[in-house]
Every structure is written in structure tokens, then in C-alpha cells.
Structure 1
């Protein structure tokens, strides 16, 4: 089953996603599926954003749960935007490929937000975060050029 998931991630990532800098899905321009990226840092959990509090950054729409969180993001978007454009951190690391992410599968490491595809994939990523982050940091620049 794990090999099937890995193959599916690789296959879907190769045909389903362009090299957009921000992961937004097929029929939406919402970054992080409309979740408030500031809330991960301030509330310690995923919180759905509201279309009343929206901004555009790197070609995607970012939603927030409050005006205060929107203002925080606008002041320092690179601090609150997820790494690797919100794509699955494990896929960037292990497969050198794009894959979508689930905003409920997240971690903050050294002040940076990382998202993963699902719980099983996040468990793999969690098993050696430092190594996966190091490898993804090397892979990412070539994926987005």
C-alpha cells in the first residue's frame, strides 16, 4: 500500500500540477485551501479563513480568519507562508516532485510552516524532519524554475 501511495503521489504530481509557485488546487486560487496561515503560529492549529479577509500574494489568494491576521501576513508574508509553496514537504524531499497538501497535516519547525499530503506521509516526514527539510531545500529551487 505504501508503494501505491508513493507512486500515486509521484504520478499525480507529474501530470496534475504545473510549476506554480503556490499550491492552489485544480479549481481554486486559494493558497492552503483557504486556511489562515498566521493562525498556525498564533493559535497553534489550522483555522479556516474567511473571504472577508483576503489578499493576493505570489499569484494566489490567501484567506485569514481576522483582519489582524491579514495585517500580520501582509507585513511579513514570507514568515507565514508555508515552505515549498504549500506543496507536500515530503514529496518535495523524497520524490523531488510536486504533490498537494492537506492543511490539517502540518508542523512548524524552526519558525517555518510545513504541510504534507496526508497523515501517513506526514508520519514519514516526521520520522526525520531535519533530513527531509535539508533535501527539500535542495530540490525546491530546481522545481520552480
Structure 2
């Protein structure tokens, strides 16, 4: 556990932690608030500006963004714990790549890669509906190997 500000709410489900990113950090270390600011281009966060949300660390590019996240984490955290939104529509966990994303109706969705995102973009509302239905049944301790 870090020395970051801690926020807890009733949001549940496994959070994707990229093994190639910072250890134990969500969104591969990208600033989750940056997707909603300016032109929406995601930027890398820094350990200097961290917040622990439901026992998972998130990094931010500024104290201001960290404070925004701390005040309302569910508004900024990626849907489905940062797992691929298209894969979740099929009831499966897959890594979400923070470079392949869309903000839809004020929510952040990540996709596995460009090819998967191109498929997801063909029916975003339908895939979101299916993913929302599948997400509650994913065990909190699910991994790519035991789902």
C-alpha cells in the first residue's frame, strides 16, 4: 500500500494492471483525468501525484488532476477496471491499452489494440450494453487464466 491519498467506494471488479507498466498501477500509469481534459489526449502520470482508489494506485500528471480524481474517482476511472471493453462485451477479460480508448457519454473505455477498437467502434452502444451485462458476473479475483 502506498502513502497516497486513499479513496474507497462501492465500485467492484478486477482492475487491469499492465505487467509492463509501473508495478501495481492502473491505466499503465496514464493520468485517467487527462482523457477528459483539453483535447483528450492521454498523458503519463507520475508517482509524485498518486491516489489509491479501492486499493489500486493511479498516477496523475499534476496535483490538480489527482485532486479531481480523489474527489470523484468513479467519474474518471476506466470502465470494466481498465479491461478491454469489447472483450468484456463477450464476457471475457483482456488487457485494455490506454492508447486505444474512447470517452463515451462521459465514461472512459479502453480497447485491447487498434484492430479490436475498429471492431468496437462499429457498434459502441451495443458492445457497451453487452459489457455492462457481463461485468457484474466477473469474479473480483478473475485473471486472464481463471475466468
| TM-score (norm. length: structure 1) | 0.83
CA RMSD of aligned residues (A): 1.5
* 2:32 equivalent to 1:37: yes
Superposition pairs of residues 37-116 of structure 1, within 5 angstroms: 37-43=32-38, 44-94=40-90, 96-116=91-111
Aligned mate of 1:136, from 120, 123, 131:
131
1:10-54 per-position Cα deviation (integer Å, ceiling 9, x unaligned): xxxxxxxxx962111337211000000000001311100011000
2:14 aligns with 21
CA distance in 2 between partners of 1:37 and 1:87 (Å): 14
CA distance in 2 between partners of 1:133 and 1:73 (Å): 23
Unaligned regions of 5+ residues in structure 1, if any? 1-18
Deviation at 1:144, TM superposition (A): 3.2
Unaligned regions of 5+ residues in structure 2, if any? 1-11, 141-147
Q: State the 4+ residue runs in structure 1 displaced beyond 6 angstroms.
A: none
Q: Which structure carries more helix by proportion?
A: 1
CA distance in 2 between partners of 1:139 and 1:119 (Å): 23
Aligned residues: 126
1:8 aligns with none
Deviation at 1:58, TM superposition (A): 1.8
- Checking the alignment, whether the CA contact within 8 Å between 2:29 and 2:59 is kept in structure 1 is yes
